[in-house]
Structure 1
């Protein structure tokens, strides 16, 4: 399911960017084994008061990730500059991430804390840190070029950004905000961004079509009491309900992630939306598992009470996913990649992948055994129940491979961001978003009992 989730919630990120972010996360993990970086806005400095009521000469700033000995060698101007940059980072939603804090600490160690360059003729632009990138003293009239940050969502680190030092020895300011400005506009791959926006629109249209078809289907099932009383139809209704809520959540999700500010803010709302979305996604697969389990049960074990088994299906379809999603949310919230509304892939996604894959494999086993039973026991039977059972099995045989299509296609997913990858993205968007439509067609509109 890892690739399935990536298809859903990484529409604006190219494969190349995804690989780069994966490498960056591995690098960050290695660094975290050596240093424990804490949020600059939450870290507390300590200073010891001895038994005689006197302060030690120096406070301990090592917990901030700074070299305590080096810190007290800084001049007043250097300390003031570091403090001002830190304050801007704390109050900016674009630098509330661990990568920016690491870059800031590296900038302090390698640039901001170094002595001034006496050989550089005045006027010149003074060294600074803009929240993402560190800049050394730059001669007036020059432009500083540098690779785009690879930890900023939507940026291509292969591109070059720049910062201009004017002839007056001042960093160029933005014409609207009138504050020093770094030009990162070239970091965004506009053609790729337009393609990702097109993929988002495909998902929204597909999920909207599925949502309408599912709402009509469940209305039909509820309207006819003869249908509502049947155990098989009641299972269908729960499957439809999980699809309806899930499709609605995907539409909201794609509308939310189009706003880059929301991703940067990484607030509770978008994180909660991510968790709820994945809960109903897991419920989809588990209710599909209940469809296969039900058919297998009534054919292989005819003595099971349908009312009793329905209670177990409610437990499997709605309650068990809570356990896995809660574990996933807990681990993800306390991990180092809890940023950008959790839009990036995480190793913890396997907490959801494993039970879904198990349910998918069991469904395949059920269907193989069901076909065997139909061939050996029901071939000569021509009752109405046997006829409906055969049709239900045929629908399930079609639907399960459809819902598992992402697992079938995953090994063939192109790694490069070429035309083959774009065709894959378009095909994947159409198939995934129209799954609900196919469910309603097979279990409702093509259902002989409804007709």
Structure 2
């Protein structure tokens, strides 16, 4: 029988009609590591499969923990898979729509409360979209590895699967780093608004995609040189995984510092400003609401998840459900908070719609006047010589009418643009 990987153990090539065994893997929660898992190679040189099944079967019966918790774990695994498939699918759909709207509304207020959402929307939302895509690829790694191993003499090397796992961890790192970038941008916007406004968001976009690369490269080097086993999904040495987990925790604590400092600055400004000033109070109110929604959403929740530690040999099922629900539906929540429910986006969409509607109305008016003028000229052709003079006068009159209509259309269009600009300036103020 050829070498094969059953998602838990790697089985080497064995002669036909052979029963082989391995110790139950210790990296699977709840398995009894002192027992053995068995796999049988049949007489015809194929791995044994259950009746009415085509996939090779491994006997993990002795590895099962007591009291039927293995069956419960299988049920929980199915529920979690359904949960994150639904959540990531819905998040992917909503984020794609949100990114399209952000590109369509690139002229959202110059100094908006979401200043980097329109310019860096792709950089902020793409990690979640990529996470969903890589997660789906990772789910297919088993079938890819099975076909790949059948054509190789051993199952020590399968760089395709490791590449997919590395990309998956890269997207997770990108999500954490973009949390830090968003907090850093708000922090700079509060302390140095003019400098940050002139500098733009290009620097933050580059930094947001560079930090995950600098984070994933050391982990790949360590896994390649010190723990190059299986598909890099097994963490025999937990300290190696802190190369990825540590920076994520650090940036979350830094974001908590940003949150406290920004709230402090807002309180100082609210004391110094006249709260009866409608525009100033409205600005501070909207900025406060935005920060209160953004920072806890990306910081405090992650801190709560990291604080809940799993006990040795015991899996916290409610913790798994809570974390998976939040992670999978995070993109869905973001798209609604920063796009679908955003007042500035609503105003910009209405402004674009009215602008297009006015342009279509002016164009339709000009087309009608031109067609009417052409109809008049073709309806009264010059039949007699003595009417040439009157025909030429009528032609000149129609031509002047068309010119007046064109000028009127241009004036209407300019007036509409000026009106929109005045509304935009009022909103900016």
Query: Quick one: structure 1 residues 386 and 362, their matched pair in 2 at CA, closer, same or farther if it must change by over 3 Å?
Result: farther
* Alpha-carbon separation, structure 2, partners of 1:385 and 1:262: 65
The C-alpha deviation readout for 1:162-196, integer Å capped at 9, x for no partner, is: 879xxxxxxx8637647899972414644423322
Decide whether the 8 Å contact of 1:99 with 1:151 is kept in 2.
Answer: no
2:296 aligns with 401
Gaps of 5+ in 2: 50-56, 65-69, 150-154, 347-429
1:286 aligns with 177
Matched position secondary structure for 2:316: helix
**Is 2:368 the counterpart of 1:368?**
no
Q: For 1:167-246, what aligned pairs fall within 5 Å after superposition?
A: 174=42, 177=45, 184-186=59-61, 187=63, 189-227=70-108, 231-233=115-117, 234-246=119-131
Gaps of 5+ in 1: 1-87, 105-127, 134-147, 165-171
The C-alpha deviation readout for 1:70-101, integer Å capped at 9, x for no partner, is: xxxxxxxxxxxxxxxxxx7xx52349999989
Offset at 1:239?
A: 1.0
* Alpha-carbon separation, structure 2, partners of 1:311 and 1:293: 14
The C-alpha deviation readout for 1:382-409, integer Å capped at 9, x for no partner, is: 5668745643543343343333424313
1:92 aligns with 3
Decide whether the 8 Å contact of 1:242 with 1:280 is kept in 2.
Answer: yes
1:21 aligns with none
TM-score between the two structures when normalised by the length of structure 1: 0.58
1:300 aligns with 191
RMSD: 4.0
Query: Quick one: structure 1 residues 441 and 301, their matched pair in 2 at CA, closer, same or farther if it must change by over 3 Å?
Result: same
1:150 aligns with 25
1:249 aligns with 134
* Alpha-carbon separation, structure 1, partners of 2:27 and 2:20: 11
Query: Quick one: structure 1 residues 228 and 351, their matched pair in 2 at CA, closer, same or farther if it must change by over 3 Å?
Result: farther
Q: For 1:315-330, what aligned pairs fall within 5 Å after superposition?
A: 315-330=206-221
* Alpha-carbon separation, structure 2, partners of 1:406 and 1:358: 11
Decide whether the 8 Å contact of 1:214 with 1:240 is kept in 2.
Answer: yes
* Alpha-carbon separation, structure 1, partners of 2:7 and 2:143: 19
Offset at 1:161?
A: 5.1
Query: Quick one: structure 1 residues 444 and 334, their matched pair in 2 at CA, closer, same or farther if it must change by over 3 Å?
Result: same
The C-alpha deviation readout for 1:358-383, integer Å capped at 9, x for no partner, is: 22122111121111111111453656
Bigger fraction of residues in helix: 2
Query: Quick one: structure 1 residues 410 and 354, their matched pair in 2 at CA, closer, same or farther if it must change by over 3 Å?
Result: closer
Query: Quick one: structure 1 residues 213 and 417, their matched pair in 2 at CA, closer, same or farther if it must change by over 3 Å?
Result: farther
